[in-house]
Structure 1
Amino acid sequence: MKFSLTTFLFTILSLFSIVSALPVVRRDVFVPPLITPAEGAVWKIGSTQTVTWDASNPPAQITNPQGTLYFRKDELIQLDNPLATGFDILLGRLNVVVPEITPGVYQLVLLGDSGNDGPSFTVVA
């Protein structure tokens, strides 16, 4: 079977028309700002701490309602060791136990529908 350039172009145009006829689903991005730990807070390894974020104004549809918390140090997100996973991003708060990590200055990164980072705080032994 031999295809001509015209057949090829009509095939491509047909595919474009099918794709353009699909319904458009609007997905809103939810980026709730982290509130605590506050700038300058100190967390002790092994202690239980409360992380809070402002979940008061979510969009009607959230693409990914499951949250993940990561530590960020020196501009690098520590993706191999999340602080918490699988929680409802609309909760607005979560208690966590500070793991055995290298003491220093950190930020938390909240990922779910989108990601944002909080203020810097210190982890001590």
Structure 2
Amino acid sequence: MHFKISAFPSLFALFAVSSIASPLEVRKTLDVWSPKITSPTAGTVWVTGSTVNVTWDTSDAPKQISNGAAVMLRDDSGPVPPENPYLKESRSFDLRDGWVTVEVPNVPPADNYVLVLFGDSGNWSEQFEITEDATST
């Protein structure tokens, strides 16, 4: 009985060391990629209700991308209405595609809108303009 009690701390220590070492060995390098948004750019004008393409450069894309992608519309003060500022939700497209189609939401006309492309890192487009659909007034 004395042997079993004194062996327990040694077995516990061996288990603790092996369980700590294992995650360190299998930990993978995280990829961080911040693709340059190529559209919209300064001078771009979107019309509410229209369908447009958001594009970015994929020439230096890693083979594996850890996170899903999302596109968010913002202005200088932060997210814009509607309540959900995401034009494309996370994991609804692949960053390696280099483009995604979005519908321009019904937002107040302004020339200070930007897109944020999320994935492994958030990038911002240049400021661009959104105008009202002339047929809806």
What is the TM-score when the length of structure 1 is the normalising length? Answer: 0.78
In the other structure, the counterpart of 1:99 is 105
Residues matched between the structures, number? 114
User: How do 1:14-93 and structure 2 match up within 5 A?
Assistant: 19=20, 22-23=24-25, 24-64=27-67, 66-78=68-80, 80-85=84-89, 86-93=92-99
**Is 1:111 aligned to residue 115 of structure 2?**
no
Deviations 1:4-63 (A, max 9, x none): xxxxxxx8xx96885455223101101111000111211010111111001121123321
Q: Which structure shows the bigger proportion of residues in strand conformation?
A: 1
Which amino acid is the alignment partner of residue 65 of structure 2? I
Query: In structure 2, how many angstroms separate the alpha carbons of the residues matched to 1:43 and 1:34?
Result: 16
**Higher CA-based Rg:** 2
Query: In structure 2, how many angstroms separate the alpha carbons of the residues matched to 1:17 and 1:76?
Result: 47
Which amino acid is the alignment partner of residue 57 of structure 1? D
* Change in CA separation of 1:17 and 1:57 when aligned onto 2, cut-off 3 Å: same
What is the TM-score when the length of structure 2 is the normalising length? Answer: 0.71
Where in structure 2 are there 5+ consecutive unaligned residues?
1-12, 133-137
Q: CA deviation at 1:72?
A: 1.3
Q: Which structure shows the bigger proportion of residues in helix conformation?
A: 2
Query: In structure 2, how many angstroms separate the alpha carbons of the residues matched to 1:118 and 1:19?
Result: 43
Where in structure 1 are there 5+ consecutive unaligned residues?
1-10
Does structure 2 retain, via aligned residues, the 8 Å contact 1:28–1:60?
Answer: no
Residue 90 of structure 1 aligns to a residue whose secondary structure is helix
